[in-house]
Amino acid sequence: MSCLDAAKWDAVCKEEMNSFQHMGVYEVVPQPKGRKVIGSKWVFCIKHRPDGNVEKYKACVVAQGFTQVEGLNFNKTFTPVTKFSSFHTILALAAEHNLEFHQMDIKVAYLNGVLEEEIYMELPLGLKVPEGMVFHLIKAIYSTKQGGRVWSYPG
């Protein structure tokens, strides 16, 4: 965080962690003995406008889900994905019937699904908590094996 944009990155990191707290994604607990703790990391992205100017900075905490163990901290994986042919059909129908088509993005969508499994995760760099503390995930986050499966609409 020593770059020229450090203040902007710090702001989006705080915004991400505020979203986690607001959504009740985790609780900070002592690391349980004999339990696997998965890693985490920050993923940073700069979104640009068509003219090349910066639109926004994004920071996201992701789990290192590749370290999860089947049967221990995940059982099923599934991500609902629309087939391209289905999407193409919807667009064709909208054009044929002169309908408007709108896109939407549900901010922090993955943070709505409640986990059935017990998952403990190391805190991402930059968070200050006492030594030996970890996140006990209550809700799914990006890159957990079951993240797409437990997603539910917040309505």
Express each pLDDT in 25-50 by its tens digit. Answer: 999 999 999 888 999 999 999 999 99
pLDDT at 143 over 80: no
0.75 surpassed by pTM: no
Q: Is residue 150 one of the residues assigned to a domain?
A: no
Q: Is residue 100 part of a domain?
A: no
Q: Is residue 154 part of a domain?
A: no
Closest CA to 126 of 14, 33, 7: 14
- Whether residue 126 is contained in a domain is answered as yes
Question: Residue 52 domain-assigned?
Answer: yes
If one counts the domains in the chain, the total is 1
Strands (E), the chain: 26-30, 37-38, 40-48, 54-63, 114-121, 133-139
Chain segment 50-91, per-residue pLDDT in tens:
999 999 999 999 888 776 777 666 666 666 667 889 889 989
- Retrieve residue 137's tokens: 């995930």
Tokens of residue 78, six digits = 């599934």
In this structure, is residue 129 part of a structural domain? yes
Quick check: is 19 in a domain?
yes
Q: Which domain holds residue 38?
A: 6-78+106-139
Residues 6+ apart with CB under 8 A from 85: none
- Cβ 142 vs Cβ 151: under 8 Å: no
* Lookup result for tokens 């006990």: 136
Inside any domain, residue 92: no
